[in-house]
Structure 1
């Protein structure tokens, strides 16, 4: 889906996703001491970016949907925190190198060559000792989980991401994790996500 399509989706409801942070973002980063600037790539409506700002990070929220970023800014204002929104396509945006103490990539799905390019830029944007966290729909999800994109071309494994980051970072965690979800009929299901947590060397 292109930026116009996402703009339309974000206009269609008050919040497409909840205002609370993603469960794995909160689990992994909740104990991390804020260390200056953070960047949330494909920030959407800002639920993770605002949560990071509430914890004391100076957050850049990057997304190609102007509608989503406007909603992110509103959420930040309502919660009394500052958020810098950056309206940019991640395929064209080049972050400053060795600038951030944290880079977050949550549920960004692109064909792997494009995804690899974004992830390479993400790791280069983090300074030594800074953290990286990726959470996304796992490649196994269409067959063994529930929801999420069904196109295998935009899915990946934790191992793929870890292998890409490993020359530049220490991999602390790379695994497939279960995420409880509720389907359209209200039944409990399980989604499979890829999770990679790393520290820049």
Structure 2
């Protein structure tokens, strides 16, 4: 864990090209009005963009990351946003974090490869809790944003297959442009911790 912490601390403090967006991932903002309320967990929170957004929407948020530098930046931003009292910042390698069973109404994971941890992450969902997961995809097309090594990207349908024990509310794989026109290969999954052949489905904003 120490090596990972040092590596990420250095990246956040010295890599000028490593500039994370300030806004939450688009799917979270698009769906927030249809999500269950209560407690939220942001896995590998980085500078806290999802955690701060959830806190601004009234959630009590646990936000986990290995990097002290990232969490310090996230906490400062939360204070600036006036939501710091709603967020608990937890310094931990996600692999060492003790996920509380059935504890969270919403869990977000963005751009962190955690397929091996998904059983624990899903176990932490409360009944009818919702997981929103977005990550880089491998692609044969030229891509501007994301890891240069495919080891850190998901293959087609990797995320979908890992979450088939949830009710899949949405799953997409696509090339997306950011505000600067740069290309990014992205997969997004929204899954609910519910079972049964007949269910109700929230209507998300288009």
TM, length-normalised to structure 1: 0.85
What does 1:27-42 align with in structure 2 at a 5 Å threshold? 27=30, 29-42=31-44
The Cα offsets for residues 155-184 of structure 1, whole Å up to 9 and x where unpaired, read as 1146211211112x10111111332136xx
Report the 3-state secondary structure (helix = DSSP H, G, I; strand = E; otherwise coil) of the residue aligned with 1:38: strand
- State the alpha-carbon separation in 2 of the partners of residues 60 and 72 from structure 1: 12
Q: Give the CA RMSD over aligned residues.
A: 2.0
Match of 1:91 among 76, 92, 95: 95
Q: If the length of structure 2 is used for normalisation, what is the TM-score? A: 0.83
CA drift at 1:45: 0.5
Aligned to 1:194: 187
Alignment deviations for residues 123-164 of structure 1 (CA, whole Å, 9 cap, x no partner) = 110011010011011122x63432201222221146211211
Match of 1:8, SS state, is: helix
1:125 is aligned to 2:101: no
Output the CA distance in 1 between the equivalents of 2:54 and 2:154: 25
In structure 1, what is the Cα distance between the partners aligned to 2:6 and 2:12?
Answer: 10
Contact 1:3–1:64 (Cα < 8 Å) also in 2: yes
- The equivalent position to 1:59 in structure 2, one of 58, 61, 74, is 61
1:164 aligns with: 162
Give 5+ residue unaligned stretches, structure 1: 110-114
| Contact kept? 1:44, 1:65, Cα under 8 Å | yes
What's 1:77 paired with? 79
CA offsets 1:68-100 (integer angstroms, 9 cap, x no match)? 111111111111112100111011112100000
**Separation in structure 1 between the aligned mates of residue 110 and residue 151 of structure 2, nearest angstrom:** 17
* CA deviations over 1:102-123 (Å, ceiling 9, x no partner): 11010003xxxxx222222111
